[in-house]
Structure 1
Amino acid sequence: MTLNRITLMFPLALVLFEFSVYIGNDLIQPAMLAITEQFGVSATWAPSSMSFYLLGGASVAWLLGPLSDRLGRKKVLLVGVAFFTICCLLILLTHNIQQFLTLRFLQGISLSVISAVGYAAIQETFEERDAIKVMALMANISLLAPLLGPVLGAFLIDYVSWHWGFVAIAAVSFLSWFGLNKFMPTKQESRVRQPFSYIFDDFKKVFTNRRFLGLSIALPLVGMPLMLWIALSPIILVDELKLSSVQYGLAQFPVFFGLIAGNIILIKIIDRFPLGKTILMGLPIMLIGTLFLILGVIWQTYLVPCLLIGMTLVSLGEGISFSVMYRFALMSSEVSKGTVAAAVSMLLMMSFFTIIELVRVLYTYFHIWAFALACVTLIGFWFLQPRAALKQVMLERKAEGIN
């Protein structure tokens, strides 16, 4: 399908849901210090709101992708949107941190609805470069969530209650359901319907594919530094460095403007270079950004400027490279795209959950050093096996005459 005003309505409806899911994290993270205080627990529980959200995303990806292969992407996506909306309202009834995190886990399932079902539908609906442009455009719109979330979260803390945030998120999600129901195409690739027990055979094919592993492991390595920032920045900036809630919100602007700029650059230059070249441009920028984090920890006088410059460079490089990286990972296996997208989602979400919780524990002992060293280590690992796998794919595409 070619990209035009009519066909663009489906990804716009999807990105409205994606926005509600992302702001479901970005709006609440600034309020987590107030929420932990309300529930009478330590502030170190604050990052767990995000990590349990991500764990929920990883928990059912194995089911949602293959299920959408058999029942259709649209049916599964619409049920997922409705489920998320209901969970946003149920969290208003929680009375302790355990109940709160349980509902966060259930809300997080929506992350797999987007990545294992919605993204697969986008990749199937549009041609290769159009699909990447659509993904980058969706990323820019959904990035309004981390831009607005911290500021709105600070407003909620100071003037109203965090509960109203979930009411607003549920309303946006409910609106996206109507858009998807109207504009999402029902047609999908025709596949032989196999018994549901074949799911595990399909996942075995995917996870034993060395090319898939080489390309997919790059995704959490590249996406993790920004996820760590979102999870830990309330503790770093507010709890440790004593910034106000408003200052915390404003500090997020350069970081996420960097990501938006990276996606815009990707859309502008992707047709000029062989596919994959932008990844080789973006990762050195990310590495330089992580070195700024180390410099800030060493020279504490310049800690905040170095954190913001470093994270802006990290997010800029991620914007230039991530959408192309995702396309390569999704197309690295011949198994049905719902299953491959689910496998990618599981890898991403489980990696995010594990590393966020690990760095959260290390942070209690080593403070900002734990965050900075984790970021530089993750990006450094990309320059090993994932970079080699990417270059191999690019060489094969060149030999086949594919730009």
Structure 2
Amino acid sequence: MQNVQTTKLSRATLMFPLALVLFEFSVYIGNDLVQPAVLAITQEFGVSSSWAPSSMSFYLLGGACVAAILGPLSDRLGRKKVLLGGVAFFSLCCLAILLTHNIESFLTLRFLQGFGLSVISAVGYAAVQETFEERDAIKVMAIMANISLLAPLIGPVLGAFMIDHVSWHWGFIGIAFLSFLSWFGLKAKMPTQHISIPKQPVGYIIDDFKQVLKNKRFLALTLGLPMVAMPLMLWIALSPVILVEQLGLSSMQYGMAQFPVLGGLILGNIVLIKIIDKLPLGQSVMIGLPLMLLGTSLVVIGTMTESYFLTFLILGMSLVSFGEGISFSVLYRFALMSSEMSKGTVAAAVSVIMMLTFFAVIEIVRVLYENFGLWAYSLAGFTLIILWFSLPRLVVRDIMRQRKLTGEF
């Protein structure tokens, strides 16, 4: 177990997460700015539009493939060194994608850009959880989420503008610039944590992961995370095809349709910040998940009523995103703290499980969508939320009960 000194949230200590969230924004908009452009990109490369969701799934797969290395590496070398190296690598990959001329090289660079996701989740988030006290860490995560949510909120609109007026290449140039800016901010403001972890051979990394994965509570909570986040991920991955290609919306209309959905997520994070000190930790999850179940149910109902499908879809997904906003940061904290192993290793395990699940589910639903259309999309989201109400819900209930018995609020 590692021992680190936490600090209170203040204007001075907030500068580090603000620098980190600039990179997080760069990584997220690296997906959201591209999504409106993927149909044009597939046309440019002369391939079917069915390749469009693969831009996102390969991005996620890239993150999953290096998380297992980055977390333990940051335990041994320090979070700051690994984070700065990851930011620089992501920036260079954003520039390298400008040289691609076919879908294979494009997806390869998308895979490499995805490493940035693990830099954030396996290194950056672990540093935040170690730097701040429990509830302050959750507040910081919610604040970061709201700022980074500007990416999916404005990304589709900017992406639509690029398609209509310039080229998708300029998006990656802008992303690389933002990422370089965050590198300088992190270098100046990120604290250097001196973690009391024994210096062990690299081979011990495998043993550390085995210890984490043997923890049944950790597995239940971590597998529950993609169940909560996946419906919105499917929306981001498939909404260009659903809204533009199937429903005939323009690129700008597609971008505007993101505002109520992602606005719900922003509102959810704001509400979480307001109520986190007033409710027992975990209570917001018990409010948020039923709302998500209601939202996915509305999407299923909308699939039955073609005339009102778009209305039910936007309303349902807005409820889903609001529920995720008041739930996810708390669930992530529970998952990260469910194991006594070093937090870099635990965060890496969380990241690997989440991103592999994201990749697999997006690709499965993409194939199912080609064969069964909107039913595949709507039932996938509904099923994922229903699954959360099994073992993950029981574990969260058990954690809340234990915290109450020990006097923790």
Asked if Structure 1 and Structure 2 have the same fold, meaning a TM-score greater than 0.5 normalized by the shorter chain, the answer is yes
Q: Per-residue displacement from partner, 1:267-317 (whole Å, max 9, x unpaired)?
A: 000111110010000000000000110111000100111110000000000
1:60-209 correspondence runs (5 A): 60-209=66-215
> Helix, strand or coil for the counterpart of 1:95?
coil
Structure 1 residue 191, shift from structure 2 partner: 1.2
Q: Per-residue displacement from partner, 1:84-129 (whole Å, max 9, x unpaired)?
A: 0000000000000000000000000110000000000000000000
Q: Per-residue displacement from partner, 1:2-60 (whole Å, max 9, x unpaired)?
A: 11111000000000000000000000011000000000000010000000000000001
Q: Distance in 2 between matches of 1:361 and 1:42?
A: 13
The alignment covers a number of residue pairs equal to 403
Structure 1 residue 192, shift from structure 2 partner: 1.2
Equivalent pair of 1:26/1:146 in contact (CA under 8 Å): yes
Q: Distance in 2 between matches of 1:401 and 1:364?
A: 52
Q: Distance in 1 between matches of 2:260 and 2:353?
A: 29
Q: Does 1:391 align with 2:401?
A: no
What's 1:41 paired with? 47
Say which of 22, 26, 32 aligns to 2:28.
Answer: 22
User: Which amino acid letter does the alignment assign opposite residue 378 of structure 1?
Assistant: L
What's 1:227 paired with? 233
Structure 1 residue 188, shift from structure 2 partner: 3.4
Equivalent pair of 1:290/1:314 in contact (CA under 8 Å): yes
Structure 1 residue 187, shift from structure 2 partner: 2.0
TM-score normalised to the size of structure 1?
1.00
Say which of 271, 274, 295 aligns to 2:277.
Answer: 271
Q: Per-residue displacement from partner, 1:218-254 (whole Å, max 9, x unpaired)?
A: 1000000000000000000001101000000000000
Q: Distance in 2 between matches of 1:109 and 1:187?
A: 23
Q: Per-residue displacement from partner, 1:309-356 (whole Å, max 9, x unpaired)?
A: 000000000000000000000000000000000000001100000000
Say which of 56, 59, 66 aligns to 2:65.
Answer: 59
List, as ranges, runs of 4+ consecutive aligned residues in structure 1 with deviation greater than 6 Å: none
Equivalent pair of 1:124/1:188 in contact (CA under 8 Å): no
**Matched-pair identity in %:** 69
Equivalent pair of 1:13/1:180 in contact (CA under 8 Å): yes
- The CA RMSD over aligned residues, in Å, is 0.5
Say which of 373, 380, 384 aligns to 1:367.
Answer: 373
| Structure 1 unaligned spans of 5+ | none
User: Which amino acid letter does the alignment assign opposite residue 119 of structure 2?
Assistant: V
User: Which amino acid letter does the alignment assign opposite residue 54 of structure 2?
Assistant: S
Q: Distance in 2 between matches of 1:268 and 1:218?
A: 24
> Helix, strand or coil for the counterpart of 2:276?
helix
What's 1:213 paired with? 219
User: Which amino acid letter does the alignment assign opposite residue 116 of structure 1?
Assistant: A
Equivalent pair of 1:27/1:145 in contact (CA under 8 Å): yes
User: Which amino acid letter does the alignment assign opposite residue 208 of structure 1?
Assistant: K
Q: Distance in 2 between matches of 1:122 and 1:190?
A: 17
Q: Distance in 2 between matches of 1:249 and 1:398?
A: 44
TM-score normalised to the size of structure 2?
0.98
> Helix, strand or coil for the counterpart of 1:188?
coil
